[in-house]
Amino acid sequence: MKRKNPLLHYIVTEGCRYVWQTLKNCVKPVLGRKPYHDEKLVFFRQYILHWIGLQRIGAVTCAMSSASEGSGSLASLTMCTINLARVSGLAYLHTPLSIVGHADRPMQQWAAAWESLFNLGAGEEPCNGSRRGVVDAGRYNLWNLDLCLGLRHREKELQDSFRVLIPEFRRKYYLNKSPRTTDEITVAVHIRRGDVSARECSHMYTSTEEVLRVASEVKSILDANAVLHTMSIYSQGTQDDFEQLFPLGARFFLNADAVWTMQELIEADILIMARGNYSYYAGVISDGIKIYEPFIPGGGSGNRRLPNAGLPALPLAWSCSIFSELDDWLPYQTNGSFDHVAFERQLSLLLLARKKTPAGGPV
């Protein structure tokens, strides 16, 4: 039934869970315990009321704030929610970030800094906290919501819609900040460390050797074309951890402020990305050249493309399915190679735009 009729399977299985949880919540006060509210079951009740016509779902928000979710993951989830709202015809109501993982300052300041940086709520109607007719499409509901709205088999439409929205997300980002330009071409290399290692969370880890290979390819092309450039490496750790990269002559920015680092990645002319939503959000907003490593979220890596998957529960998987389809994103192989012809074509366009735009002016 799960394979042949996923919606019926969802209704039956979640209906059983809903009844069981309701019975347990009736008993808990007698035992002096607080009732438990499962967000997935809250959505199930909303969907059933919508289905039988008692209370229609008219809007969607994304109130996913979690100390276990980083800024890039929350931004991706919000963008996915906005995209779903546009495709389904629902209103999008914005809920500002309140808790963001990896905080390096008081949480209120940390969340506000990311909210201001992403600026995804600009021009959107705010959510007043009411759940009447409003679904929270946080991590636990995004997958079920697209199933219940009949979007599970409209992956191509969802992907096309997201691509159309990218200029809007970029415009929102720059509403409260101005793009920077420099006299030389800037290359930003993001290397994910700290929360991942070759032993732990290895599917999100890219070896230093692999980074060296792709960065060397980029540098050799720039040198061959006599392009004045600087290369900067953004990561965590100490310079001794990246001794293999010293021949690149790059500047190292290690353990730097994460908000500032995100801006640096976005505004670089060439971005060599790490695995994860932090880098992927930067790639969405960046109008420079993006070089990334395709991989399967949850395991596996290399050069396999993620199959179209609609709106998976993990925003990272959705990000990969979207970005692997973008024509101007350049995937690289584990040996560091990528499409040099496409790269040089994009580089030529970038240099032409720089000639037409004086330093300090918008590109």
Residue 283 has pLDDT above 90, yes or no: yes
Helices (H), 119-200: 142-148, 155-174
- Rounded to 10°, the helix 107-118/258-267 angle is 10
Per DSSP, the three-state class of 219 is helix
> What is the separation, in whole angstroms, between the first and last Cα of the chain?
53
Residue 301 has pLDDT above 50, yes or no: no
pLDDT in tens, 26-61: 999 988 998 888 888 888 999 999 989 999 999 999
* pLDDT on residue 197: 72
Residue 68 has pLDDT above 90, yes or no: no
* pLDDT on residue 357: 64
Share of the chain above pLDDT 70, in %: 87
* pLDDT on residue 362: 45
Please state, in angstroms and rounded to a whole number, the distance separating the CA atoms of residues 222 and 245: 17
Sequence ranges of the domains in the chain = 55-174, 185-356
Architecture of domain 185-356: 3-Layer(aba) Sandwich (3.40)
72 within 8 A of 281, measured Cβ to Cβ? yes
Please state, in angstroms and rounded to a whole number, the distance separating the CA atoms of residues 23 and 315: 33
- Rounded to 10°, the helix 277-285/258-267 angle is 40
Q: Which segment, 6-15, 129-138, 210-219, is predicted with the most confidence on average?
A: 210-219
Please state, in angstroms and rounded to a whole number, the distance separating the CA atoms of residues 63 and 97: 7
232 within 8 A of 250, measured Cβ to Cβ? yes
170 within 8 A of 221, measured Cβ to Cβ? no
- How sure is the predictor about 116, in pLDDT bands with cuts at 50, 70 and 90? very high
pLDDT in tens, 216-275: 999 999 999 999 999 999 999 999 999 999 999 999 999 999 999 999 999 999 999 998
Alpha carbon separation from 13 to 43, 150, 328 (Å, rounded): 14, 18, 42
* pLDDT on residue 322: 58
* pLDDT on residue 35: 87
**Strand-by-strand arrangement of the 59-61 sheet:** 125-126, 91-94, 59-61, 134-136
Average confidence score pLDDT of the chain: 85
